[in-house]
Structure 1
Amino acid sequence: MHIILGATGHIGSVLIKLLAERGEQVTGVTRNRGNVAQIEAAGAKAAVVDVQDTNGLRALFKKGTRLYLLNPPGNFAADSFAEEKQSISSILSALKDSPIEKIVAESTYGAQPGDQLGDLDVLYGMEQALAMTPRYVSILRGSYYMSNFDMDLGTARSEGKIYTLFPVDFKIPMVAPADIAHFAADLLLEAKENTALHYITGPQDYTPRDVANAFSKALGRPVEAVAVERPKWQEFLMKAGFSEASATSMANMTAVTLEQDFEIGKAPKRGNITLEEYIDHLVKKQEHEMA
């Protein structure tokens, strides 16, 4: 049986459906009992377990053979990345003595060790810990999620602007979560002995200006990309609801992204969903929900 962490998120909600459609036994994990119906509607069983409940996870893992490991995002209003480290520790502890034979773990472009580097450091630590487990492990490093722009729809509508910490013409590898889900499904279904470090991104790289243009096209009105000056990153993030610790980590991750060419020389898998398609679907989904 496949166990999918984060089963109602952007990736997990698509992944459980893909596996169920292929006739696989799937259990989707959520910490919110209100999500059970959504998981069951996708053709999977639902397990209500918080990933920081190590004993609860341990009992669940005893029922599975393959695991999609997605570490859920922490609460940015608190110390989100300290919370994420606790979640990874709980997941890894629960795996001990479990029958899980194959793990597909979601990581990120640019994963690396460092002080207050947020997901880059948290997920690098996860990769290193998984390398020490006596199981078959495939690491899936995704590029910048297009779903990060979901939160920009509000200001795109109300102000005709989206705000970015990146220069407006800075090219960023981006990927739609649904493309990650399709690739993850293939990895979970392949022979357990097939293990590797994989990279996945979208059909092409995009800039924040491209994001604004996609919103403009979908909304039928001008939308401008506005770059936040680097000395104001921390202030901007804290006004958006980040704690000081979370804002520091996010600012540091952004700086590293600007200063490093993460995956030069790599040959990533490329998904099919364009930025324009993703933004158009996002806008239409909100309009449907508001109707």
Structure 2
Amino acid sequence: MSKRDAFVVLGASGHIGSVVARRLLQEGHQVIAVVRDEARASDLKSAGADIAVVDVGNMEALRATLNRGRRAFLLNPPAPVTIDTDAEETRTATTIADAVAGADLEKILVESTYGAQPGNAIGDLSVLWNFEKRVGAAAIPTAVNRGAYYFTNLDMLLNEARQGFITTMFPAHLKIPMVAPTDLGMAAARRLTTPLDDVGIQYVEGPKAYSFDEVAAAFAETLEHAVTVRTIERSEWESSLKQAGFSEQAAHAYARMIEVSLGGFDMPEDPMRGTTSLRAYISGLVKTGASAHC
């Protein structure tokens, strides 16, 4: 494999990274798929990817893998909610950025989030803002794709929806930008192959914004029974998250992230738009079951 032709894809067995890797392979590119478990990448291996089993917390091993490629897709892996997510995700983000700083790459793309901003204990908003800044400090052309609210966050609502309700911390009527991981992966694959001057922040969302009333309606249509929305009061957010298995630190950070998001942040005027609708995603979720999406 020629270094000139290789794309390194972190999180290649996940929701977004797998789409990036498959798309690049379909276009005839060489792909080095970075995964933690080779068994989960058998389809990519069959499709022609070079599988690299690397712990992204191992800076030297990750840098050596990055140096095998020409361009790289960087995604900070989510930490289990049972631990201090901010601390663990900050650790891996720092290690990835340190690996990139010493790598010989011509372009990188960072997967980030709407509302990324400096702060303390606000979950992905602050962790990924710092990730953007740390990676961007390297002398490598850097593109950043900030994704809207992931449809995969709705997967955990399937069992509730089967019982006729869903719960949320968002106001039921509030429309928020949402996006399918497939569309995020396709957008990332496109930007990875664009010229070196295609850098900076772009935003990616689905065809339109949706409310949780619309989420309930999509479940109701697919399940063919009524589904209502139950809104959790702010005073109960953290206790509700802890009951769901979140650590104390993770529950606090996630609640703060929702609180800051509801306070508003700069929205893009002309985002990149995917094609997957809420109804299409929910229909697929119901057909395949949450286990296929989690």
Match of 1:70 in 2: 75
Q: What is the Cα-based RMSD across aligned positions, in Å?
A: 1.5
Q: C-alpha displacement at 1:287, in angstroms?
A: 9.2
- Checking the alignment, whether the CA contact within 8 Å between 1:170 and 1:208 is kept in structure 2 is yes
2:49 corresponds to 1:44: yes
Match of 1:223 in 2: 227
**How far apart, in 2, do the equivalents of 1:186 and 1:63 lie?**
21
Give 2:126's aligned amino acid. Answer: D
Q: How many residues align?
A: 287
- Write out aligned runs for 1:20-99 (5 A): 20-99=25-104
Match of 2:279 in 1: 276
Match of 2:199 in 1: 195
Give 1:94's aligned amino acid. Answer: A
Q: C-alpha displacement at 1:53, in angstroms?
A: 1.4
Q: C-alpha displacement at 1:265, in angstroms?
A: 5.4
- Checking the alignment, whether the CA contact within 8 Å between 2:166 and 2:216 is kept in structure 1 is yes
**What SS is found at the alignment partner of 1:58?**
helix
**What SS is found at the alignment partner of 1:2?**
strand
- Checking the alignment, whether the CA contact within 8 Å between 2:10 and 2:17 is kept in structure 1 is yes
TM, length-normalised to structure 2: 0.94
- Checking the alignment, whether the CA contact within 8 Å between 1:16 and 1:42 is kept in structure 2 is no
Match of 1:175 in 2: 179
Match of 1:124 in 2: 129
2:258 corresponds to 1:251: no
Q: C-alpha displacement at 1:96, in angstroms?
A: 2.9
Q: 1:135-194 CA deviation, whole Å, 9 max, x = no partner?
A: 00001011101111111112212x221110111111111011111111111101111232
Structure 1: tracts of 5 or more residues without a match: none
Stretches of 4+ aligned residues off by more than 4 angstroms: none
Give 2:116's aligned amino acid. Answer: A
**What SS is found at the alignment partner of 1:163?**
strand
Among all aligned residue pairs of Structure 1 and Structure 2, give the percentage whose two residues are the same amino acid.
41
The 3 A distance-change label for structure 1 pair 93 and 287 is closer
Q: 1:54-107 CA deviation, whole Å, 9 max, x = no partner?
A: 121122111011110111101110001110000011111112331111111001
Give 1:75's aligned amino acid. Answer: P
Structure 2: tracts of 5 or more residues without a match: 1-5
**How far apart, in 1, do the equivalents of 2:173 and 2:46 lie?**
41
**How far apart, in 1, do the equivalents of 2:109 and 2:102 lie?**
18
- Checking the alignment, whether the CA contact within 8 Å between 1:16 and 1:43 is kept in structure 2 is no
**What SS is found at the alignment partner of 1:114?**
coil
**How far apart, in 2, do the equivalents of 1:72 and 1:35 lie?**
15
**How far apart, in 2, do the equivalents of 1:131 and 1:212 lie?**
39
**What SS is found at the alignment partner of 2:112?**
strand
2:13 corresponds to 1:12: no
**How far apart, in 1, do the equivalents of 2:206 and 2:103 lie?**
35
**What SS is found at the alignment partner of 1:199?**
strand
Match of 2:3 in 1: none
**How far apart, in 1, do the equivalents of 2:180 and 2:99 lie?**
30
- Checking the alignment, whether the CA contact within 8 Å between 2:150 and 2:178 is kept in structure 1 is yes
